[in-house]
Amino acid sequence: MSDKNKVAIITGGARGIGYGIATCLANKGCDIVIADMNEEAAKVSAAAIAKETGVGALGITCDVTRHAQIDAMIEQTLKHFGQIDILVNNAGICPFVNIMEMDEAVFTKTLDINLTGAFLCTQRVARKMISREKGGRIIFITSLSVNVTGAEQGDYAASKAGMHMLMKSFAIALGPHAITCNAVVPGMILTDMTRHHWEKPEPAKFIKGRVPVGRIGTPLDIGNAVAMLCSDESSYINGVGLIVDGGHQTVCV
Ligand code: NAP
C-alpha cells in the first residue's frame, strides 16, 4: 500500500496542530477525516484541505469523550471511504491551572479528553483495522510534559505521561496485526493553545536562547513527523516517542 489511497482520522483536527497534521497527510495523498468537537469548524477545515490538496476530506462532529459520537464518526468514515488506515489521537486541552487550586472537575476533564479519549478512539478504530487485516498506523500526540512539568500543568502532564504508556501498551497488543503505535512529542508549537504565552517579547527571547534551531515550532513541523511515522517505510518503528522540538530538551542551561 502506498501513501496514496490511505484514509486518516485526525481528532481535534479543525485547527492548530491537528490541522497541520491533516494538511501534511493530505499532501501525501491520504483522504482525511477531521473529527472535532466543533462541527462547523470541522467541516470548514475539511473543505479547505480538500480544495488545497485535491484529496477527499470529511468534517465530522466528535467529542472524544463520547462513546456514541466516536462510534458514529467511525461508521460515517467507513460508509464514506470504506476503510481506516491511520488514526491520530491529537484532541487535547491544557487549562493551565495551579495544581493546588485546581478543582477535581478540571483535573478529571483533562484526563477524560487527553487520556481516556485516546484510549476510546484507539480501541474502537483498532478493532476495525484488525478485522480488515491490512495493518495500520496509530499516532498519539503527547508532549515534553511526559518528562517535565510545572505547577500549572499537573493535570496535563499526568494525562500526557499516561498517554505515553497507553501508546506502548497498544503497540504491544496491535503489533502482531501490523498496526504500529507511536507518539509524536511536540516541543513549543505556536497554536491557539499557546499563543497567549509565546507572542510576548520575553518568551520570544527565551525561545531564541533555548531552542537550538532558533524558532518556535509550527503545526506543519508536527504534521511532517506524523506523516513520516505513517509511511510504509516506518513499518518497523513501534512503541516509540519521536521528540519534535528543534532540540529544546537537549539544552541543559
Ligand atoms: P488547540 O489549538 O487548542 O486545538 C485543539 C483542538 O482539539 C481544537 O480543534 C479543539 O476543538 C479540539 N478538541 C478539544 N477537546 C476536544 C474533544 N473533547 N473532542 C474532540 N476535539 C477536541 O491545541 P493544539 O496546540 O493544536 O494542540 C493539539 C495537541 O497537541 C494537543 O493534544 C496538545 O496537548 C498537543 N501539544 C501541543 C503543544 C503546543 O505547544 N501547542 C505542545 C505539545 C503538545 P475546539 O476548537 O472545539 O475547542
Q: Is residue 252 part of a domain?
A: no
Q: Is residue 246 part of a domain?
A: no
Q: Is residue 248 part of a domain?
A: no
d(C-alpha 174, C-alpha 151), whole Å: 35
Q: What is the pLDDT of residue 2?
A: 58
The one-letter amino acid code at 172 reads I
Q: Whose CA is nearest to atom 40 of ligand 1?
A: 189
Q: Is residue 95 part of a domain?
A: yes
- The answer to whether residues 190 and 130 touch, using CB atoms and an 8 Å cutoff, is no
What Å distances lie between residue 113 and 79, 106, 164, CA to CA? 26, 11, 15
Q: What is the pLDDT of residue 203?
A: 83
Total tally of structural domains belonging to the chain: 1
**236 a catalytic residue:** no
Q: What is the pLDDT of residue 1?
A: 44
Q: Is residue 251 part of a domain?
A: no
- Nearest atom (ligand 1) to Cα of 188: 40
Q: Is residue 26 part of a domain?
A: yes
Tens digit of pLDDT at every position of the chain (253 positions): 456 789 999 999 999 999 999 999 999 999 999 999 999 999 999 999 999 999 999 999 999 999 999 999 999 999 999 999 999 999 999 999 999 999 999 999 999 999 999 999 999 999 999 999 999 999 999 999 999 999 999 999 999 999 999 999 999 999 999 999 999 999 999 999 888 888 888 888 889 889 999 999 999 999 999 999 999 999 999 999 999 999 999 998 6
State if pTM tops 0.95: yes
| Residue 69 belongs to domain with CATH number | 3.40.50.720
CA-atom Rg of the chain in angstroms:
17
Strand partners, 136: 179
Q: Which of 9, 11, 17, 87 to mutate to test the pocket of ligand 1 (most atoms within 8 A of CB)?
A: 17
For 142, the grid coordinates are 503527547
Q: Is residue 253 part of a domain?
A: no
Q: What is the pLDDT of residue 197?
A: 85
Q: Which domain holds residue 81?
A: 7-241
**159 a catalytic residue:** no
